[in-house]
Amino acid sequence: MLDPYIPLVLMFALALGFALFSVAIAPLVGPRRYNKAKLDAYECGIEPSPQPVIGGGRMPVAYYLTAMLFILFDIEMVFLYPFAISADALGLFGVVEIVLFIATVGFGYVYVWRRGGLDWN
């Protein structure tokens, strides 16, 4: 009864074995001599600085807000995709639910817009 799952279990076992083998063998075959250049952070060929140039070491909050808004509206698209695939099968109930979902996200979008979260100053 579980015969169709044997290849899947074997694939997971193979992946786990490869991951464990890679972690175990890395210290043995990896470089043993470290220098300052190899341990430094790489910033596209530019000499790394201890603090960001703008703001005296503080990142502007606008970057975090933009990232959160991207995640919010990206998740909205993830939830809209299944509806687009099965819109015919859902009928009127599906249409009402998706309109409520879009309205809820739309209220969030309008709130962020009115509060100035989309302004790039």
Q: What is the pTM of this model?
A: 0.45
d(CA 121, CA 112): 15
Low-confidence ranges of the chain (pLDDT < 70): 41-60, 120-121
pLDDT single digits (tens) 21-56: 999 999 899 877 777 777 776 656 666 566 655 555
* Residue ranges of domains in the chain: 58-115
pLDDT for 23 equals 95
pLDDT for 54 equals 59
d(CA 104, CA 65): 19
Please, which residues bridge with residue 43 across strands?
A: 46
